[in-house]
Structure 1
Amino acid sequence: MPDLTSPAVLMRQLLGAFFLPPVSILLLALAGAWLARRVPRVGRSLLGLSGVLFYLLTLPQSAIWLNGFLETEPPASLGAVRATQAIVVLGGGIRPAPETGGMVLSADSGSRVRYGAWLARRTGLPLLVTGGAPKGGLAEGQVMAQVLAEDYGLVPRWVEAASDNTEANARNSARLLRAAGISHITLVTQAWHMRRALPYFRAQGLTVVPAPTGFTRYAETGVCRWLPTGRAMQETHQALREIVGLIYGRLRGY
């Protein structure tokens, strides 16, 4: 199958792969190995640093700390949601499902859609789902709408399927909402993504009630939070990527 990823999305992925763990730590270790025979003290220091960083980034405690920096918005109250005019659910990715022969929502998208449906049923508010096809193929918004209809019996009023990043989600969604006379919304996305998403939507002149979902939580306590896990490595990588995105947005005035 040909690669249909847009050049802009591909560039973001390449930069993220190069500058974020685990590749950045691997490059640090390779630099240490190369310097070990030329400048032994510096080489050994870099090798040791890469090992420490790798260990830290695999810890549940590190994932909790990093995502705690991002997860600044508390859960939304139903009263605050009822005061808005619509619920906007951001896409968080889709993936192939060989068992069904089609595309399904990623874990992040699935949790957002589930929470959006939960809110819609309790408030009667219309839903807008937003997500394009940054990697080509079927748009996230289309898959989200299909899941809402088939699994939750809800048909979103608006399906935005042209955006390939959070800024475009906000811009394209605002255009649809303004045409319907809507300016006060509830925004559903991952708790770690909300801090970056909010400024984009507010910059469109929307009044936004944040409704975060998928908070970073671990059942493990005490010493178990200092034992490396694959899940923690994934969540620290996601948090670091989000922090980079947050800094980029701030530099652009959001």
Structure 2
Amino acid sequence: MDSFFTLSKLFWFAIAPSNALVLLGGLGLVLALARTRRAGMGLLAVSVIGWAVLGFSPIANYLLNPLEERFPIYRGDAPVTGVIILGGAEVPEVGLARGVPAFANAGERAIAFGALARKHPEARLAFIGGSGQLFSDGVASEARMMQMTLPDLGIAPDRVEYEVNSRNTAENAEFAKEMLKPSPGERWLLVTSAFHMPRAVGCFRKAGFDVVPYPVDFRTIGPSQLNDTFSRAASGLDVADVSVKEWVGLVAYYLSGKTSALFPAP
């Protein structure tokens, strides 16, 4: 098993804000019960306050927005060689069990993919993504979920090429280049969530695959409207988790040589 992939999954489990605050609170409870009351109660207080601040305040918006603003919304009409969609929006365990398409918050990726397929009927279409789970059974793959969805998008299933072995963004880029074999001067659109686009573009550039960013799935209104609070702590924590994951991912990918820039730009 690839050590970077395994360590990244374990490390992220521990440092995701929502998880880290629970672990901190649990440690505080253990210390309090073990008669280290002052230290334990202090950690419990930090845990509760952290949940409240990250869950309800607009801090998460300020963490996420710079990622979303890094690459502009695509407005071009030029002919394209192909359209690439990265997996990760699908919920294959649910969709395959119930026999209907199932997507998480990033379902806009599929909507954009369908729209681009109709707009560019001659373009090659590619779905890139296997399973990002640490322990995958290889059955509930993202690609199978997308295949189930294609008729609803108005796309003939045999029009799409599939890469089903990549487990993270770096492998997305490497395996996509190997499968699609892009030539100089070709124009490939890359569809993924706006907050994920900097890391994705960095990986594709490192792999030597020049792509045109097509960001979707925006979670913030814009830089001038970031002060809105969250009505549910779970919502704010979810945005905080997504933001921290991307910022940490950018640093980790840069330090490990998977991207050539710390914060890739247009």
- Give CA deviations for 1:224-246 in whole Å, capped at 9, x if unaligned: 61544322222211221222211
* Shift of residue 206, structure 1, vs aligned partner: 2.1
Q: TM-score, normalised by structure 2?
A: 0.78
Identify which of 110, 113, 126 aligns with 1:113.
110
- Give CA deviations for 1:144-165 in whole Å, capped at 9, x if unaligned: 23312x1122134421112111
Provide the alpha-carbon RMSD of the alignment: 3.2
* Shift of residue 89, structure 1, vs aligned partner: 0.3
Partners of 2:102 and 2:146 in 1: CA distance: 7
Tell me, what secondary structure is at the counterpart of 2:148? helix
Q: Which moved more, 1:49-58 or 1:226-235?
A: 226-235
Q: TM-score, normalised by structure 1?
A: 0.81
Which residue of structure 1 aligns with residue 168 of structure 2? 165
Tell me, what secondary structure is at the counterpart of 1:162? coil
2:248 counterpart of 1:244: yes
* Shift of residue 14, structure 1, vs aligned partner: 3.1
Partners of 1:164 and 1:115 in 2: CA distance: 22
Tell me, what secondary structure is at the counterpart of 1:163? coil
Tell me, what secondary structure is at the counterpart of 2:208? coil
Q: Which moved more, 1:173-182 or 1:70-79?
A: 173-182
Tell me, what secondary structure is at the counterpart of 2:250? helix
2:23 counterpart of 1:27: yes
Identify which of 79, 82, 86 aligns with 1:86.
82
Gaps of 5+ in 2: 260-266
- Give CA deviations for 1:5-27 in whole Å, capped at 9, x if unaligned: 99876654333222223231123
Which residue of structure 1 aligns with residue 262 of structure 2? none
Identify which of 109, 122, 127 aligns with 1:129.
127
Which residue of structure 2 aligns with residue 73 of structure 1? 71
Query: Percent identity over the alignment?
Result: 27
* Shift of residue 53, structure 1, vs aligned partner: 1.3
- Letter of the structure 2 residue corresponding to residue 73 of structure 1: F
Partners of 2:183 and 2:145 in 1: CA distance: 23
- Letter of the structure 2 residue corresponding to residue 89 of structure 1: I
2:236 counterpart of 1:235: no
Residues 1:227 and 1:140: Cα distance change in structure 2 (over 3 Å): closer
Contact 1:141 1:159 survives alignment (8 Å):
yes
Contact 2:79 2:120 survives alignment (8 Å):
no
- Give CA deviations for 1:203-239 in whole Å, capped at 9, x if unaligned: 2222221111110136xx8986154432222221122
**Residues matched between the structures, number:** 245
Contact 1:139 1:162 survives alignment (8 Å):
no
- Letter of the structure 2 residue corresponding to residue 187 of structure 1: L
Contact 1:132 1:141 survives alignment (8 Å):
yes
